[in-house]
Amino acid sequence: MEPEKDNQQKSRRNFVEQGLKFGLLTAASGALLAKVFGKSESLDSEETIEVMSTDGTLMQVPASAVEHAHEKKSDYNPREGFPNRKFVMVVDLAKCRNAKKCQSSCNKNHYITGENAWIKIYKMQESEKSAPYWQPTLCQHCDEPACVKVCPVDATFKRRDGIVLIDNNRCIGCRFCMAACPYSVRVFNWSDTWQGDAVEQTAYTPDYAGVPSQKGTVDKCDFCPHMIDKGELPHCVSACPNDVFSFGDMYEDTVTNGSGQSFKLSKLLKDRAGYRLMESLGTEPSVYYLPPSDRIVDFEEGLENYTEFQSVDKPQEP
Amino acid sequence: MNTAYEKMINDLAPKQFSWKGNIWVAFLVLVILAGMYSYVQQLKSGLVITGMRDYALWGIYISNFVFFVAVSLVGSLITAILRLSGVHWSTPLTRISEIIAVAAIIMAGITIIIDMGRPDRMLNLFLHGRLQSPILWDVIVITTYLVISLLLLYYPLLPDFSILKKHPNHTGRLDKWYDRLSLNWSGNEKQVRIHAISLQALSIMIIPVAFAIHTVTAWLFETTYRPGWDSTNFGPYFIAGAFVAGSGAVVVVMFVLRKLYNLEDYITDDHFDKMGKVLVLLCLVYLYFNINEYLIPTYKSTEEEAVHLQSLFKGQYAGLFWTVIIGGLILPVIILLFPKGRKPLPLFMVALAVVLGAWWKRYLIVIPTLSHPFLPIEGVPEAWRHYSPTWMEWTITAATLASALLIITLLVRFLPIIPIHETAEERGLIEDQSINQSL
């Protein structure tokens, strides 16, 4: 268990760093690639790193040949997001067996004290004759978000990097966004709950949702900008034991799963016939689903974990 | 002087409450105090004291809000639409309907604040308001409607205040106030002209604002994707329903006031007959929109709509749904088609049923839809699947209704319930007088 975990964390740490490199290659395109290949022949002994070209081929290039794209930390503004990024998630339904590690990890790391988790694993079945499957569902971070459209005070907003967040210091608690969201992912803080000393004293920022939560305002999945900032994957992605989730950048056309494997997004969606939830509503979600065909897990396995009336563990001591 | 005119002033001047009136006011104040106690609890603990949760995210606060907005629309119908179309029989009812409109719209504004999770941040609506949000449209039209309604209540009062001022035996200590509020109305030609033009302008202005206020309230629901709300019929459907609710309220209030203040000379059986005809017409229009709203989605029965409609027709809400449709709409239509049904007492009973039906109809519009989201309801306590208001929520809601009644009661206490000047003018009692004064 231990070494595997280490490995995973390392790969997670590498995630953004590599992402930056991919991004650079995409931007600088041909000219830079030529430079890289020119050098690579003479510098065989040097340390190499793996990069992906724009057409999705993986290749080894010397580390020294790759320049880091610089993102100045001072440019970052929680309302604008990370410059030149567009985050995207892929959920592989063929792999989900309702282990619920995504949920417990999310609950734990966002200090969720209410009774409704931000990520739920729905027991789905399209029709009586078709097979049931498990569908992890979190905020879809829509590009045409119905919630943002209706917010009267600009408390919930869409960032340039694709993430939809809530400014809990501004939210007036009208719950119109919750009525507007067709995915039922928004959660209201009906009361003031104790999240522990450390959280209660943390300074609030919109890009770490729920830390601390505020009575009378709306919360939801934030796509974990606080993890992206550290170069790590969102909690649900890294917690999943079955690599159901992959997270990445649309501009880089790459997504990475919890084990650190990267995939070319466009190819993955094409090969596996990816789709989005309620596409017909025109909300343009950033979360893609891969259909639960050729499943490598047994649906039945998840049933023992299934709790119809509970998604957050009750606290041990009040 | 003109004895008929004197008698009229005598009849219509505001009167002190009898013991009944005092008990009524005390009762209302008690209900309001209970509601305020509950609201303080809500401020302390949050909306957790209500029956609302993440799925049933709106409850009776919102349906009550829609009810208030609906009732307030009657002001524009009776004072503006009937005035502009040259109908004169409704003149004695204009004050009553304008008082109801003002009370209802004030309480609509307060009710929506009660529903807010963070009422302390209300200023954000002005500091960070987004014009793209229907809530902002609602804020704008409700305040506009309130201002125009207050003016429509106040302008016709100017000559009445001046009459009351001149008859201090009716007013006691209040005549100083009537004097101030009459803004030196003397009824001279210039004043009369400005007055007439202003009333005309306000009557024209209030109609689009009235339509806007209820259309926008419908849009609060219609702009979402949810089955039961996702309808292009909602704007006109809400307006039609609003006229029904408001006219019902006017009938109820005019019946009670006529009884209490012996106003049979001013609010005649003929008024009831005519209001009964107005109500039956409005009910038929509303019935038409209801058929559109329910029949066509039933015919198509898309999966989501079918689940929603089943819960209304045969499921959990069926009892309430059919009671409201039959008792609050179909039976009133049948009863009011007969002249006997439009006699004061039967009409009063029908109107009471219509108003009660209208309140519960809003409940049926707001709540059932929320229990049928697109994705299954999972991972929340079983109790969250069904909304039932808590007693605290009921107390607060009862307090808003009591507040509206208290506003109406107090305005009835201090204002002439029937416009004295206008009624006298229409009966030809004061033509000479106004000419004398302008000289």
Contact A309 B46 (CB under 8 A): no
Contact A281 B225 (CB under 8 A): yes
Environment class of B131 (CB within 10 Å of its CB; exposed 0-12, middle 13-18, buried 19+): exposed
pLDDT single digits (tens) B272-310:
999 999 999 999 999 999 999 999 999 999 999 999 999
What's the 3-state SS for A121-141? EEEECCCCCCCCEEEEECCCC
A242 shares its domain with A121: yes
- Please list the alpha-helical segments (H only) found in chain A: 2-40, 101-109, 146-150, 176-180, 197-201, 225-229, 235-239, 265-271, 299-303
DSSP characters for B363-425? HHHHHHHHT--SS---SS-GGGGS----HHHHHHHHHHHHHHHHHHHHHHHHS-SS-HHHHHH
Residues B242 and B70 sit within 8 Å (Cβ to Cβ)? yes
Cβ under 8 Å to B: A residues 253-282: 278, 281
Residues B257 and B412 sit within 8 Å (Cβ to Cβ)? yes
The contacts of residue A250 (CB under 8 Å, 6+ apart) are A86, A87, A88, A162, A265, A286
Report the pLDDT value the prediction gives residue A25, as an integer from 0 to 100.
Answer: 46
Report the pLDDT value the prediction gives residue A297, as an integer from 0 to 100.
Answer: 87
Closest-CA residue to A189 (of A109, A112, A137, A120): A112
Check pLDDT > 90 for residue A70.
Answer: no
Domain hosting B184: range is 3-373+382-424
Q: Is the peptide bond before B346 cis (omega within 30 degrees of 0)?
A: no
Collapsing DSSP to helix, strand or coil, A254 comes out as strand
A66 shares its domain with A81: no
Closest residue to B128, CB basis, from A149, A154, A308: A154
Task: Give dist(CA B26, CA B343) in Å, integer.
Answer: 32
Structure tokens at B38: 């509950």
In order of A132, A134, A245, A305, B377, the CA distances from A301 in angstroms are 12, 11, 19, 8, 21
A190 shares its domain with A215: yes
A61 shares its domain with A176: no
DSSP characters for B187-231? --HHHHHHHHHHHHHHHHHHHHHHHHHHHHHHHHHHTS--TTT--
User: Final residue of a domain: which of A70, A89, A110?
Assistant: A70
Within-domain flag for A315 = no
Within-domain flag for A94 = yes
A15 shares its domain with A133: no
> A174 at the B interface (CB within 8 A)?
yes
Report the pLDDT value the prediction gives residue A37, as an integer from 0 to 100.
Answer: 46
Domain hosting A154: range is 75-303
- Please list the alpha-helical segments (H only) found in B262-317: 269-300, 303-313
Within-domain flag for A316 = no
Report the pLDDT value the prediction gives residue B439, as an integer from 0 to 100.
Answer: 35
**Residue A106 C-alpha, separation from nearest chain B C-alpha, in angstroms:** 14
In order of A106, B23, B48, B145, the CA distances from A238 in angstroms are 10, 67, 34, 54
Provide φ and ψ at A122, rounded to 5°: -80, 145
Q: Which residue of B has its CA nearest to A188?
A: B54
Environment class of B110 (CB within 10 Å of its CB; exposed 0-12, middle 13-18, buried 19+): middle
**Residue B357 C-alpha, separation from nearest chain A C-alpha, in angstroms:** 25
B379 chain-A contacts, CB cut-off 8 A: 116-117, 120, 307-311
Within-domain flag for A26 = yes
A182 chain-B contacts, CB cut-off 8 A: 225-226, 373-374
pTM score of the predicted model: 0.90
Classify the C-alpha dihedral B263-B266-B271-B275 as positive or negative. negative
pLDDT single digits (tens) B372-383:
999 999 999 999
Closest-CA residue to B324 (of B359, B351, B352): B359
Within-domain flag for A287 = yes
> Confidence class of residue A69 from pLDDT cuts 50, 70 and 90?
low
Check pLDDT > 70 for residue A287.
Answer: yes
Within-domain flag for B433 = no
The H-or-E segment that residue A315 falls in is none
Q: Which residue of B has its CA nearest to A124?
A: B376
Identity at B357, one-letter amino acid code:
G
Q: What is the mean pLDDT of residues A30-58?
A: 58
Mean model confidence pLDDT for chain B: 93
Q: How many domains are there within chain A?
A: 2
A227 shares its domain with A254: yes
Q: How many domains are there within chain B?
A: 1
Check pLDDT > 90 for residue B385.
Answer: yes
Check pLDDT > 70 for residue A7.
Answer: no
Closest residue to A184, CB basis, from B119, B129, B373: B373
Task: Give dist(CA A238, CA A15) in Å, integer.
Answer: 12
Q: pLDDT > 70: what percent of chain A?
A: 80
Contact A184 B384 (CB under 8 A): no
What is the DSSP pairing of strand A254-257 with strand A262-264? Answer: antiparallel
pLDDT single digits (tens) A130-179:
999 999 999 999 999 999 999 999 999 999 999 999 999 999 999 999 99
> Confidence class of residue B78 from pLDDT cuts 50, 70 and 90?
confident
- Angle, vertex CA B81, rays to CA B80 and CA B85, nearest 5: 115
A197 shares its domain with A292: yes
Check pLDDT > 60 for residue A3.
Answer: no
CATH number at residue B248: 1.20.1630.10
Report the pLDDT value the prediction gives residue B241, as an integer from 0 to 100.
Answer: 97
> A310 at the B interface (CB within 8 A)?
yes
A137 shares its domain with A268: yes
**Residue B329 C-alpha, separation from nearest chain A C-alpha, in angstroms:** 29
Check pLDDT > 50 for residue B33.
Answer: yes
A269 shares its domain with A176: yes
A104 shares its domain with A120: yes
Report the pLDDT value the prediction gives residue A54, as an integer from 0 to 100.
Answer: 66
**Cβ density class B306-344: b for 16+ within 10 Å, e for less:** ebbbbbbeeeebeebbeebbebbbebbbebbeeeebbeb
Within-domain flag for B276 = yes
**Choice among A73-82, A124-133, A255-264 with the minimum mean pLDDT:** A73-82
The H-or-E segment that residue A246 falls in is strand A245-249
Within-domain flag for B290 = yes
> Confidence class of residue A23 from pLDDT cuts 50, 70 and 90?
very low
- Residue A138 zone, left/alpha/beta (φ > 0; ψ -120 to 50; rest): beta
Within-domain flag for A310 = no
User: Final residue of a domain: which of A43, A70, A97?
Assistant: A70
A164 shares its domain with A194: yes
Residues B74 and B103 sit within 8 Å (Cβ to Cβ)? no
A27 shares its domain with A123: no
Contact B121 A171 (CB under 8 A): yes
Residues B379 and A311 sit within 8 Å (Cβ to Cβ)? yes
CATH number at residue A141: 3.30.70.20
Within-domain flag for B437 = no
Collapsing DSSP to helix, strand or coil, A46 comes out as coil
Residues A16 and A8 sit within 8 Å (Cβ to Cβ)? no
Within-domain flag for A207 = yes
Within-domain flag for A309 = no
Task: Give dist(CA B129, CA B251) in Å, integer.
Answer: 39
Among A107, A174, A187, A283, pick the best mutation site for testing chain B contact (most B Cβ within 10 A).
A174
> Confidence class of residue B430 from pLDDT cuts 50, 70 and 90?
confident
User: Final residue of a domain: which of A35, A70, A105?
Assistant: A70
Check pLDDT > 80 for residue B1.
Answer: no
